[in-house]
Chain A
Amino acid sequence: MNSSGDAKTKCDVSFTVNGEVKRLRVHPMERLLDVLRNELGLTGTKEGCGEGECGSCSVLLDGLLVNSCLIPVTQADGSNVVTIEGIAAHSLLHPLQKAFLECGGAQCGICTPGMILAAVHLLEKKPEPTQAEIREGLAGNLCRCTGYMQIFEAVTKAAQQRVVR
């Protein structure tokens, strides 16, 4: 991959990020992670390992949970991307964000954006997950601080609140 000078190797891509249409001229093999962070300034998406193991770079691509470090930007062309910046409704936190705050689901915070997206994805598929489903649903996202217990608690709490509503 060569990013300097040679405009002819770049291509046009357009996709929706957090509800806004973005048109960019980028190298097709640029990682979606880098485009989000460097071109679009969406630095809430984090890089932890660069090889799809840690899940810190998780985003939703057409409703699927993906590691954005493994997605060439050309694959996102025409899709709908949701990052952590698109989870809260303006100043109103998403129930999961609120529950992460209350239950201690975020410590150092570096895995938190990806973890919250994984949890959003989980609750969309399974609004009332069992503990085993929560464990499995988040198993692609590593957290080194919490030992996960308070994250499970947060997801359980958010799910209950959604059910009540």
Chain B
Amino acid sequence: MANSKEGHIVGTSAPRKEGRDKVTGAARYVDDMVLPGMLYGATVRSTTARGKIKKISFDPRVAWDEFVVVTAKDIPGQNCIALILDDQPCLAAETINHPEEPILLLAHADRHKLRKAVEAVSIEYETLPPVHTLQESEKQSTIIWGADNTFKTFLVEKGDVDSVWKDAAHIVEGEYFTGAQEQLYIENNGVIAAFDPEHGVTVWGSLQCPYYVHKALMALCGLPEDKVRVVQMETGGAFGGKEEYPSMIGGHAALLAMKSARPVKIVYDRMEDMVATTKRHPSRTRHRTAVSKDGKILGGEIEFVIDGGAYATLSSVVLSRGTIHAGGPYYWPSVRIRTRAMATNTPPHGAFRGFGAPQSLFAMERHMDRIAEVVGISPIEIRRRNFLKPGQTTTTQQTIHENIDLDQLLSRALELSDYHAKKKHFAVENKTRARKKGMGIATFLHGAGFTGSGERYLNSLVGVEARADGVVRVLVSSAEFGQGTNTVLCQIAAEALNLPYENVVIAQPDTTVVPNSGPTVASRTAMIVGKLVQSAATGIKHTLAEAGLLSEDYTPEQFRAACREYLAAHGPLKSEVRYEAPPGVYWDDEKYRGEAYAAFAWAVYVAEVTVDLTTYSVTVDDFVALQEIGKVLHPVLAEGQITGGVAQAIGFALYENVVWQDGRMVNNQMTNYIMPTSADLPPIRVFFEQNGNIHGAHGAKGIGELPMDGPAPAIVNAVEDAIGVRFHSIPLLPEDLFHALEEEPPVASSSLPAFTRGAR
């Protein structure tokens, strides 16, 4: 247990604040809440990928006067989901740009009647030619968005890349693909909205970013700031999937509530959630790299393209992170990175843990193994020769000031995974067995916090208040959705105030109660919001000291007495702190150059796999995840972030396949979209190094997204090691192995007449 006297709360595994409610079933999620007179809402969606709405008809056998019906015409404010470009309508009015686009909303007290009514609305379209692939979108023969189907482009240039090709001993090219991935939080998207003219709109929901929803509702409902209230309920997983989408479903419920003057609940079922909401952006990356005889990268060109779906939403920001991470943890004397986010007629792709980085890093880490092969050195050695070192600059010309030693990190990971001994062993064993084993590594980095100037624009504000009973309350809009926000921020405040952990609580995120501490995304909460909480908590101590009520050394009882006296004499005791950019941080949005992130987390992951040449399946047998994350604030939570992220990334690599048909996901069920179960995963062994970070609370860096980046390339590298076949695309399914091996039988398999390809 944390002992405040010794000042050791941070760094211990204090009990999760809302943990007891979660293990007893008492935690309140939005679907657990019922309001008097509440109706249920449902969405009528497009059945075509692109077209114009010609006619909406209502089956006369339904008693429509019992239903609340909302169309785009009922929107009091602007018909858009306010985010970055505001191009996405809340309800399609005339034009349809993707399958499952919301067109009309219904509400009724009886859920069964509601479901039938949705089917009783029919919509006629004049269809237009859709665009479903990146290639078609790039060809621009059909323009579906803006002037050129392009949401955003970035260009990063460092050095003179055009001059490196002539001196290169090797020029290594590669093309890599990653697929869409469903966040698959176990709690589907859901909200309840209520409206009354005096208080305006209130939305309770499963969400990550209360103030994103707040902003979107103001624009949609045409209401001022103080007439919109957003409350985050306990949230059953998010992973980015509840970053921007809650503004859509929240807007829908708000429109129904405004029209009906009754509270309205919309909770998607699994099929609707999977078919209609955001997923990870599919990507294509091309590398062309000039390498010296001894395996040093001289320079290169990287082209990174993502499929944004039908509307801009967050694609520009996802693209940005993918762009900055595209060069991996390596030193590029020169590089040109060209990237773009393209439009297709699918539901918009959106935020998902890693946010562009897992895509471009998959390519980089597969490509490093390819370079190693061409140069004729090991995957280990190619990385050692190109690792970024302190004092060197990244692709955006950010100087590495951290004391990071990637060589040492790699050596430790190899030791922890028994890499060399296993490699040797497998090389012998693989000759005589149909289950071939391999080892693969990935070395990578992940920037914490918003990119470049992002944190400055966010301008986050946090508060800490003390009550007369000596209990301190943390006020932030940062949401808990499993990762441990509540616990870690309370630990930080307790540590700053030298109070027992139990004496610190955190407010439920409610925009009428908490200030805007920014969205709960980008691995920013512990590091950036945590640092602000630390300062704000310290502010309480200073205020009490300045009032002459608290000495330097105090007990919780003395703190309580001081609070009581202060409140009686001066009124509320609250300390607020706003984000200030660290001095000397320079970022050029035009040239995409400068300090991209205040800190990077660094990692080396090692995968051991078995490729079964009878079933064509790949299983991961052991997984070592070693990372440098500054300071571990809470060992159990930190480890849980890594194991959970690695599991999702194993799914990304080997299982999770979104099947598209005419721009629509057709395997939108847990039955046929497969995520890892407890029986599918290897032991995930987590190790930390802690070098500290001057920009984070107690030296913390962000860790939430990091584990999503490395597993996929490590696994596909291990598959190549096992069977000598190169794969460039994930998910890597048994079907893919089957097809590849049909064309390119593994070298070692010649000694295996029983090799069962022919028998199938």
Asked if B112 and A147 make an inter-chain contact with CB atoms under 8 angstroms apart, the answer reads no
Taken together as a complex, chains A and B put the C-alpha atoms of A165 and B744 apart, in Å, by: 59
Verify if A163 is at the interface (C-beta below 8 Å from B).
no
Chain B residues, Cβ within 8 Å of A147: 640, 643-648, 676, 681, 684
Q: Looking at the assembled complex, report how far the CB atom of A154 sits from the nearest CB atom of chain B, in whole angstroms.
A: 10
- When distances are taken between beta carbons in the complex, the residues of chain A under 8 Å from B639 are 104, 149-150
Cross-interface CB contact of A4 among B20, B113, B647, cutoff 8 Å: B113
Interface of A is mostly: loop
Closest B residue to A4 by CB, please name it: B110
* CB-based contact B24/A44 at 8 Å: yes
Known A103-B636, A144-B185: A44·B643 in contact at CB below 8 Å: no
A107-B18 in contact (CB<8A): no
Complex partner residue of A47 from B31, B237, B636, B677, CB under 8 angstroms: B31
B188 to chain A, nearest CB (A): 8
Partner of A3, one of B110, B239, B648: B110
Q: Which residues of A contact B112 (CB under 8 A)?
A: 1-4
Q: How far is the CA of A53 from the CA of B679 in the complex (A)?
A: 14
Q: How far is the CA of A111 from the CA of B234 in the complex (A)?
A: 13
- CB of A53 within 8 A of CB of B671, answer yes
* Binary B-proximity of A26-64 (CB < 8 A = 1, otherwise 0): 000000000001000011111111110110100000000
A70 CB–B CB distance under 8 Å: no
Min CB gap B404→A, angstroms: 26
Q: A84-B24, A101-B23, A110-B29 are in contact. Are A138 and B678 (CB under 8 A)?
A: yes
Per-residue interface assignment for chain B, residues 7 to 42, with 1 indicating a CB less than 8 Å from any chain A CB and 0 otherwise: 000000101101111111111110110000000000
Please report which residues of chain B, range 466-504, place their CB below 8 angstroms from some CB of chain A when the two chains form the complex. 481-484
Query: Among the listed B32, B113, B675, which residue makes an inter-chain contact with A43, where contact means beta carbons less than 8 Å apart?
Result: B32
Q: Does A142 contact B (CB under 8 A)?
A: yes
Chain A residues in 8 Å Cβ range of B21: 109
Instruction: Provide the residues of chain A in CB contact with B236, threshold 8 Å.
Output: 46, 108-111
Q: Which of A1, A97, A110, A148 has a CB less than 8 Å from the CB of B237?
A: A110
Give the residues from 577 to 611 in chain B that come closer than 8 angstroms, CB to CB, to chain A.
none
Minimum C-beta distance from B539 to chain A (A) = 31
If A51-B670, A116-B23, A145-B482 touch, whether A108 touches B678 (CB-CB below 8 Å) is no
Give the size category of B's interface with A: 35 or more
Interface size class of A (residues with CB under 8 A): 35 or more
Q: Write the chain A residue with the least CB distance to B638.
A: A104
Asked whether any CB of chain B lies closer than 8 Å to the CB of A74, the reply is no
Q: Is the CB of B645 within 8 A of A104?
A: no
B202 at the interface (CB under 8 A from A): no
- B234: chain A residues at CB < 8 Å are 109
Contact, CB under 8 Å: B669 / A143: no
CB of A43 within 8 A of CB of B186, answer no
CB distance from B358 to the nearest CB of A (A): 16
Report the Cα distance A24→B683, complex, angstroms: 46
Contact B24 A85 (CB under 8 A): yes
A109 adjacent to B678 (CB under 8 Å): no
Taking CB atoms, residues of chain B closer than 8 Å to A44 are: 24-26
Whether B483 contacts A54 by the Cβ 8 Å rule is no
Residues of A within 8 A of B238 (CB): 108
Interface flags, A67-110, vs B, CB<8A=1, else 0: 00000000000000001110110000100010011111011111
Residue contact A143 to B186, C-beta cutoff 8 Å: yes
Whether B186 and A111, one on each chain, are in contact in the complex, defined by CB atoms closer than 8 angstroms, is yes
Q: Is the CB of A106 within 8 A of B23?
A: yes
User: Residue on B with the closest CB to A42?
Assistant: B25
Which of B13, B186, B669 sits near A144, CB closer than 8 Å? B186
Q: Taking the nearest CB of chain B, how far is it from the CB of A56, in angstroms?
A: 6
Interface string of A150-163 (1 = CB under 8 A from B): 11100000000000
Bound together, the chains give a CA A122 to CA B689 distance in angstroms of 36
Contact of A136 with B by CB under 8 A: yes
- How far apart are B175's CB and chain A's nearest CB, in angstroms? 31
In the complex, which of the residues A1, A46, A103, A135 has the most CB atoms of chain B within 10 Å of its own CB atom? A46
> Does B25 lie within 8 Å of A84, measured CB to CB?
yes
CB-defined contacts of B647 to chain A, threshold 8 Å: 146-148
In chain B, what residue has the closest Cβ to A88? B24
Nearest CB in chain B: distance from A101 CB, A: 5
Most chain B CB atoms below 10 A, which of A4, A51, A109, A152: A109
Please name all residues of chain B whose beta carbon is closer than 8 Å to the beta carbon of A142 when the two chains form the complex.
186, 670, 675, 677
Complexed CA–CA distance, A108 and B481 (Å): 5
Residue B396 at the A interface, CB < 8 A?
A: no
Given contacts A97-B24, A101-B16, A108-B482, contact A49 B644 (CB under 8 A): no
| 19 pairs, CB–CB < 8 Å, chain A vs chain B | A3-B112, A4-B110, A43-B25, A43-B29, A46-B187, A48-B270, A101-B19, A107-B482, A108-B481, A109-B234, A109-B482, A136-B678, A136-B679, A138-B678, A139-B678, A144-B237, A147-B645, A148-B681, A150-B636
Q: Which residues of A contact B (CB under 8 A)?
A: 1-4, 37, 42-51, 53-54, 56, 83-85, 87-88, 93, 97, 100-104, 106-113, 116, 134-136, 138-152
> Which of B's residues lie within 8 Å of A, judged by CB?
13, 15-16, 18-29, 31-32, 110-113, 183-188, 234-239, 269-270, 481-484, 636-637, 639-640, 643-648, 669-671, 675-679, 681, 683-684
- What 15 additional pairs, Cβ within 8 angstroms, besides A83-B25, A107-B644, A141-B678? A1-B112, A44-B25, A46-B236, A84-B24, A93-B23, A101-B16, A101-B23, A106-B16, A140-B677, A144-B185, A145-B237, A146-B643, A146-B644, A151-B678, A152-B678
